[in-house]
Amino acid sequence: MDVSIIMVNYNTRNLTATAIESIIEKTKGILYEIILVDNGSMDDSVGYLQNKFGDLVSIIESGSNLGFGKANNLGARLAKGKYLFFLNTDTVLINNAVAILFDFMETRDEVGICGGNLYNEAHQPNHSYGSRIPTVLSELTGPVLVKLLGKSTFSFNHQGDPRAVGYVIGAHMMVRSRLFQAVGGFDPDFFLYYEEVELTCRIRKMGYRVFSVPDAKIIHLEEGSQEEEQGARRHEWFMASMLLFYQKVYGTSSVKWAYYFCQMKNILQVLIKGKKENFLITRRQYRLWRGRVKETDR
């Protein structure tokens, strides 16, 4: 088996069906399998997708919403591929992206992780990678540089040739299976967000590089709920994962500075846009983190 394509579904059966259809249509010239982990969906995803695809897709029912990393770990346990390709359900392959990434990995032994170029629904550049691993200071300087130079300058491969990057977005992440197993997979402490960056840090420490391969092209719809409450919930998850990432990668003391710099950025947003939501959520998440650390120290 060349590639195991692992997807996690949670109440997105129609998006998932479209993503799988694009895999079947576009993927040629390699031996692959599709493993779908259902995270306790309540929209009859399992029955619908089983009837639609049959034996073309192996479906694992987790029984509950495990989050992104844990669910992908579950799928990886059954994977037979030389490479694991973690693919979001809100994606559509534009070309033979899986085979393109596979061929690249086959010729570059020093590469542990790679991804392609992501596009939005209008086929415009979308966030595909981070040029560097996030640091505490980047929480403050990153948004300024993005504002001055443009977001896609740091997150989309415009040059046309493969380039080394800090990390690739987990929506389309190909990893050598043996490396994934060697480092223990995704850290189960992360529920959603930053888990692919933290995994990348561990694989980079083993001496492997991360590359963007622009010939592999994928649409990433980033289909989020329109409900304000769920949007706030997702931001809380993001902030909790951000603080956890800095604690694990840079140590407990770094979290305080990450919080301060992030709040400086949020204060500017409050002054400019008049929105307090991010500021309040960040403070709440920091208090929760600090409480957990104090509890652990006892």
Per-residue pLDDT for the chain (298 aa), expressed as one digit of tens each?
999 999 999 999 999 999 999 999 999 999 999 999 999 999 999 999 999 999 999 999 999 999 999 999 999 999 999 999 999 999 999 999 999 999 999 999 999 999 999 999 999 999 999 999 999 887 766 555 555 455 555 699 999 899 999 999 999 999 999 999 999 999 999 999 999 999 999 999 999 999 999 999 999 997 543 344 466 778 888 889 999 999 999 999 899 888 888 888 778 777 776 667 777 878 888 888 887 776 665 5
Q: Is the distance from CB of 190 to CB of 244 less than 8 angstroms?
A: yes
Q: Which residues of 232-246 are buried (b: 16+ CB within 10 A; e: fewer)?
A: eeebebbbbbbbbbb
Name residues whose C-beta falls within 8 Å of residue 170's C-beta, 6 or more positions apart in sequence. Answer: 68, 86, 88, 195, 196
Residue 141's pLDDT is what? 66
pLDDT given for residue 277 in this prediction: 74
Closest CA to 79 of 32, 20, 38: 32
| pLDDT given at position 289 | 81
Chain mean pLDDT for the chain? 89
β partners of residue 262: none
Can you give the pLDDT at residue 263? 82
Q: Position of tokens 């652990």? A: 296
pLDDT of 196? 98
Buried b / exposed e across 149-163, counting CB within 10 Å, b at 16+? eeebebbbbeeeebe
Q: What is the pTM of this model?
A: 0.91
**What does the pLDDT read at residue 287?**
86
Q: Which helix (H) or strand (E) holds 135?
A: none
Backbone angles phi, psi at 2, to 5 degrees: -80, -55
pLDDT at 268: 76
